[in-house]
Amino acid sequence: MTGQPSPKLRVEGVVELWFRYAGAEDFAEPVYRPAALIDCSVNFRSLRAGLNHSEERTYTAWLPEGELPLDWDSPAVTFDENATASSAQPPDAIYKPGNYLTTREHISQFETELIDKLARSERLKVFFNPVFGLFAAPDEELEDFLSRVAEAALGRVGPELRSLRNKFELQLEQIREVHSSEGERAEGLSFESFISQKLQLFQSENRLAGMFSTLAGSLLGAKEDQSDMDSPWDEAELHEDLRRLEQEASHALHNLYEEYTALANEYGIFEIGLQPGNIQVTRRAVLWVPVAGSE
C-alpha cells in the first residue's frame, strides 16, 4: 500500500482525532478506519435516592458506508488508561477506502440518536433497602451498604428488646418472690445473670449475630457468664419454673434475632434513568482508528 498524506474522508466543521493504543504497532500494515466519537457528561438525578451523580463518558461507533445507519450498540473502540486520541496525524498514514458519505449534518444526527438511546436505555443501578429507605452511593460495595442497613436494623429492634426485658424481668421477679416465700434458695436469681446465658447463643455465629448480641446485652443488662459458680437454683419446682421461663425467653430472642437478620439482609436494586436534558455533549469528532489492513 502507498500512504496518502490526508484522510480520504473530510467532514467540514468537525475535528479529526487519531486513536492510539498498545498493540497498534503490531499490525504489519495498519490502515485507519473512520469512527464517530462523542464525549459527553451524563447526570443521574433522583430525589427519592437523594442522589445527584455525574460521569464523563466517551462513545464511539464505526462510520457507516453509503446510506447505512450508524450503530451505537457496537463500539468502535473503548477508551482506557492506555488509550489516547490525538489531533496529530501520524506521518504516512494509510486510510481504509470506503463509500463514506458522512457530513456535518450526519454527525449532528448521530449525536441526537445517541442522546435518545441513552435516555431510553441507560440506567445507574445502586443498592437500596426499602424498609429504612437507605440508598447506596454509586460506587459503594454491597458489604459496606449492608453494614449501614444492619446498624439501622439494630435501631428497629432496640425498643422490642427493651419490651422483652421488661416482660421477662417481671416474670423472673415473680418466680423469685414465690420461691423465696417458700423458703427455697432463690435469692441469687437476677434477670441479668439469667439472660446472659441466652445471649451466648449469638456470640460467635457471625458478624450480624455479634452486633445483635452486643446491643441485646447492653439493653438487657446481661452480665458476664458465671456458670462456673454453684447454682442456687437446685430445687425441683424452682428448676421447672426457670426451665419454662428459659424456653419462653429463648424463643422470644430467636424470633427477634430472625426479624433483625431479615431486616439487615434485605436489599434491592434501584435504577435511575437519564433525562435528555441531563446529557451534555462536550466534544464530537471523526476518530481514525488503526486496524489490520485486512479488516
| pLDDT tens by residue, 65-77 | 999 999 999 999 9
For residues 278 and 256, membership in a common domain is answered with no
pLDDT at 94 over 50: yes
For residues 210 and 188, membership in a common domain is answered with yes
Residue 156: inside a domain: yes
Domain count, the chain: 2
For residues 92 and 175, membership in a common domain is answered with no
| Phi, psi dihedrals of residue 210, rounded to the nearest 5° | -65, -40
For residues 223 and 106, membership in a common domain is answered with no
Coil/strand/helix, residue 201: coil
For residues 91 and 162, membership in a common domain is answered with no
Residue 203: inside a domain: yes
pLDDT at 95 over 70: yes
Residue 2: inside a domain: no
Residue 3: inside a domain: no
For residues 238 and 162, membership in a common domain is answered with yes
For residues 57 and 138, membership in a common domain is answered with no
pLDDT at 218 over 70: no
Confidence band (pLDDT; 50, 70, 90) for 219?
Answer: very low
Confidence band (pLDDT; 50, 70, 90) for 193?
Answer: low
Residue 24: inside a domain: yes
Residue 55: inside a domain: yes
User: What is the mean predicted confidence (pLDDT) over 189-213?
Assistant: 49
Query: Using CB atoms within 10 A of its CB, is residue 115 exposed (0-12), middle (13-18) or buried (19+)?
Result: buried
Distance CA 148, CA 146 (A): 5
**What would the pLDDT profile of 242-284 be if each residue is shown by its tens digit?**
677 777 777 777 788 788 888 888 999 999 999 999 999 999 9
pLDDT at 25 over 70: no
Q: H-type helices in the chain, by residue range?
A: 104-121, 142-181, 191-199, 207-220, 236-264
Please provide the average confidence, as pLDDT, over all residues in the chain.
79
pLDDT at 170 over 60: yes
pLDDT at 26 over 80: no
For residues 99 and 143, membership in a common domain is answered with no
Residue 8: inside a domain: no
Q: Which domain holds residue 207?
A: 134-268
For residues 104 and 72, membership in a common domain is answered with yes
Give me the pLDDT at residue 213, please.
57
pLDDT at 55 over 90: yes
Residue 6: inside a domain: no
Across 1-5, 211-215, 278-282, which has the greatest mean pLDDT?
Answer: 278-282
